Amino acid sequence: MSAEFSFTVHATDEQARLGAISTPRGVIRTPAFMPVGTAATVKAMSPDAVRALGYDVVLCNTYHLMLAPGAERIAALGGLHRFMNWAHPILTDSGGFQVMSLARLRKLSERGVIFQSHIDGSRHELTPERAMQVQRLLGSDIQMQFDECVRLPCEHEEAERAMRLSLRWAERSKDAFGHEPGRAIFGIVQGGTEKDLRRFSAQGLVETGFHGYAIGGLAVGEPQAAMLDMIDIVVPHLPSDRPRYLMGVGTPDDLLRSVKRGVDMFDCVLPTRAGRHGLVFTRRGRLNLRNARFADDARPVDPLSSSPMARDYSRAYWRHLAKSGEILGMMGLTEINLAYYHDLMSGARQAISEGRLDAYITEAQRNWAEGEAEGR
């Protein structure tokens, strides 16, 4: 633990890095997956339960929290950590993606975005300055620049316009962030699936200078190969002494392939959202527990899971809860998925330390494929 924000690489395995992000609120072991707690809660999980699984950091969202209950209210109540009773690091997304994907009647300008809330239609404005102000009021440990995230696919001209605007907003975000001892601001590389734009964005952000660098605007419907190609393009242009964060990703296979390419941090709603709908991730692949074939299946979900929910209850029981809409079903299956994601990243960290990440990935992929072949 450190009084300042810092990042240390402890070991490498080709491009992959084993490291640690130190903050006043604790150490984030990398590669790290961050559970998404959009509105100051990881859905169907208590903060204590998330911590008990071994997680070091969670993600919350500026857009949602500024709409409800309000950043000023959270600040008056002691800040986001106290508000949600999570004493460990928090990363906040700046809200740019949500403005573009959720808000109604957006009006984009050089200044920022004026939009109507998707909740009640109320009118709001987000600018780089306001996004950083909200994150300061929340008191998050890692804060993201405000950016524009375009929908893919899009024309080169549109991707370039949004990328250049995001670069200008990055400078304003950094200026508005100022100096916050112990806290960090990350820039976000944009540029769609255009190689030249991604390089230009990465180089521009590095010139501006940030504590860490994210790759945004991916995992929004493009093929996995295109996402991985953009990572390969961007990573060589990012400083080796700063953390790299791939936003909104992803599947277990996405995570491992990206770790191999030198990415340190991830977030995605997939494990929590899937769990609430009866889909679980295991060493043998995905199981849709709502399927009829599990109605009489007395086997545990995964006997080697770190979660007792996966070890001590039958698939038949979880299917019953999922089909019945029971709250315990949502809670238990969410925990199973988050436990799997944590185990996956913990295993990757161990594999990097031992110089055997390729073998670890190959084994994981073989287990997933064999599980699917067996109809599990």
DSSP state of 184: E
Tens of pLDDT, residues 133-161: 999 999 999 999 999 988 888 999 999 99
The pLDDT value recorded for residue 375 is 42
User: Per residue in 346-364, is it b (16+ CB within 10 Å) or e — as a string?
Assistant: bbbbebbeeeebeebbeeb
**Interacting residues of 307 by C-beta distance below 8 A, sequence separation 6+:** 53, 335, 336, 339, 340
Tens-digit pLDDT string for the chain (376 aa): 568 999 999 999 999 999 999 999 999 999 999 999 999 999 999 999 999 999 999 999 999 999 999 999 999 999 999 999 999 999 999 988 887 777 677 899 999 999 888 889 899 999 999 999 999 999 999 999 999 988 888 999 999 999 999 999 999 999 999 999 999 999 999 999 999 999 999 999 999 999 999 999 998 888 999 999 999 999 999 999 999 999 999 999 999 999 999 999 999 999 999 999 999 999 999 999 999 999 999 999 999 999 999 999 999 999 999 999 999 999 999 999 999 999 999 999 999 999 999 999 999 999 999 985 444 4
Bond into 212 cis (ω within 30): no
The pLDDT value recorded for residue 102 is 73
**Interacting residues of 164 by C-beta distance below 8 A, sequence separation 6+:** none
The pLDDT value recorded for residue 103 is 67
Show which residues are catalytic.
93, 267
